[in-house]
């Protein structure tokens, strides 16, 4: 495949033979990074337009003053962005055969669609409605009822509540304590002007990323972006994530009661924040591998706890990275969360003391690497991976080399440094009495 041209010059094209992908990058004069991942012969085409703005970004500096915005505003803005002066962008995309959607996380908001026809027309609609907001006080007020219902559903979900409890136990100051959706009280403080302020701050080309996956013409993608989006970007916006956290959790334990058949729990371990750059990708992979080695489905710990009836198939673990925050967590349903907690600590000490079978580590590494390769079958996963790397300053398609660099000692060091009782918080949802 020949590299694409942009205005007579070649786009940056990188071939990744180990994963069978070719990726093209271009940064437009307005600062927008554009990524195209060609998929020749595929009928389906996917566009992913995302901003580095999420639920945690509640306090920021705009036009010389600090703004404190209500919890849930990024998610609220996502809902309202589909409104246009002419009606609904959702309907316009549907007319063109596209299936649009959006989501808001702690760190990003993303808008996307896939289609087989009229791709470039749909792409222009996507770029247009995301970059040109349209809010009225009436429409903003009307949305409050819809989002309040959504919040109610979230708050009735035990899995969400046990996670939120864990974050409140781990962190004292970080906005990660807040629900991405906010609360019924907080969203009632949102106005059209607040939404316009947030859009002005964060929906600027240099703070966003466009990723397209499929059988597309990269030049046409760039023409669409240049033709629709602003010619200039806004300034970088300082953000405030609260006072710096130490590694001691805010609370060691937190619990509540809900309509559940048996207790559900999450055990969290507070980890040092991770800076942007290549090391972030390495630590992300390393942390997940360490979780798999210590307590994954094929681990001795999982097998033992399962056979004892202390856990079931709901048990899972992971390492998560957020702006200014990082943590390991594990959990699921259990009639004795405290026993699981102690078993995890004991196993971490044993593994660090005695080591692990190299053959076992190699099996874990191969399985994890295979899952990463398999994820490339998903256009959505490719796009979100590319955008994450763009925002965090690393090349996410170099993950095979990262896997190669991680040693058994790296895994043991991660477990020793992070799976410690003084870093730990236990969140439990018990059945109602």
Q: Are the CB atoms for 214 and 379 separated by under 8 Å?
A: yes
Gap between the terminal Cα atoms of the chain:
65
Alpha helices in 261-317 (DSSP H): 278-295, 300-307
Q: What distance in Å separates the CA atoms of residue 288 and residue 302, rounded to the nearest whole number? A: 15
- Helix (H) or strand (E) holding 397, with range, is none
Q: Please, are residues 338 and 377 in contact by the beta-carbon 8 Å criterion?
A: no
Q: Of 21, 26, 78, 121, which is the active-site residue?
A: 78
Q: For the chain, what is the radius of gyration of the CA atoms? A: 23
Q: Which residues pair with 317 in a beta bridge?
A: 330
Residues pairing with 45 in the sheet = 115
CA distance 177 to 164: 7
Residues 415/344, Cβ–Cβ less than 8 Å? no
Q: Establish whether 78 is a catalytic residue.
A: yes
Q: Is 234:204 a contact under the CB 8 Å cutoff? A: yes
**Distance (Å, whole) CA 291 – CA 280:** 17
C-alpha distance from residue 17 to each of 119, 217, 365, 381, 400 (Å): 28, 22, 20, 19, 10
Burial class, 151, CB count within 10 angstroms (exposed 0-12 / middle 13-18 / buried 19+) = buried
Task: Give the Cα separation of 168 and 185 in Å (integer).
Answer: 18
Catalytic residue numbers?
78
């Amino acid at each position: 495949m020949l590299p694409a041209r942009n205005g007579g010059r070649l786009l940056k094209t990188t071939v990744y033979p180990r994963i069978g992908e070719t990726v093209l990058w271009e940064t437009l004069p307005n600062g927008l990074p554009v990524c195209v991942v060609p998929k020749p012969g595929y009928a389906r085409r996917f566009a992913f337009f995302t901003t580095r703005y999420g639920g945690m970004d509640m306090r920021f500096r705009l036009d010389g003053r600090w703004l404190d915005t209500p919890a849930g505003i990024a998610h609220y803005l996502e809902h309202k962005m589909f409104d246009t002066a002419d009606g609904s962008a959702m309907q316009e995309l549907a007319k063109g055969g596209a299936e649009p959607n959006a989501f808001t996380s702690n760190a990003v908001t993303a808008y996307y669609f896939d289609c087989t026809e009229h791709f470039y027309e749909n792409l222009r609609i996507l770029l247009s409605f995301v970059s040109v907001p349209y809010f009225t006080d009436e429409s903003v007020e009307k949305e409050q009822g819809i989002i309040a219902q959504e919040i109610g559903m979230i708050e009735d979900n035990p899995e969400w509540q046990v996670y939120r409890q864990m974050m409140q136990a781990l962190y004292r100051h970080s906005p990660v304590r807040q629900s991405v959706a906010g609360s019924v009280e907080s969203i009632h403080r949102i106005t059209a002007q607040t939404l316009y302020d947030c859009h002005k701050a964060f929906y600027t080309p240099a703070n966003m990323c466009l990723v397209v996956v499929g059988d597309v013409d990269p030049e046409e993608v760039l023409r669409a972006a240049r033709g629709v989006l602003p010619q200039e970007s806004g300034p970088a916006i300082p953000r405030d994530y609260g006072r710096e956290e130490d590694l001691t959790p805010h609370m060691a334990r937190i619990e509540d009661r809900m309509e559940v058949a048996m207790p559900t729990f999450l055990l969290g371990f507070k980890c040092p924040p991770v800076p942007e750059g290549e090391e972030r990708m390495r630590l992300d992979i390393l942390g997940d591998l360490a979780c798999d080695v210590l307590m994954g489905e094929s681990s001795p710990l999982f097998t033992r706890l399962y056979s004892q009836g202390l856990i079931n198939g709901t048990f899972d673990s992971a390492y998560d990275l957020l702006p200014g925050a990082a943590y390991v967590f594990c959990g699921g349903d259990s009639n004795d969360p405290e026993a699981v907690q102690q078993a995890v600590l004991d196993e971490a000490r044993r593994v660090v003391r005695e080591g692990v079978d190299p053959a076992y580590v190699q099996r874990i590494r191969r399985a994890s690497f295979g899952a990463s390769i398999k994820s490339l079958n998903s256009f959505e996963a490719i796009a979100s991976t590319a955008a994450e790397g763009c925002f965090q300053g690393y090349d996410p398609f170099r993950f095979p080399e990262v896997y190669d660099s991680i040693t058994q000692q790296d895994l043991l060091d991660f477990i020793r440094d992070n799976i410690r009782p003084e870093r730990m918080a236990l969140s439990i949802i018990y059945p109602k009495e």
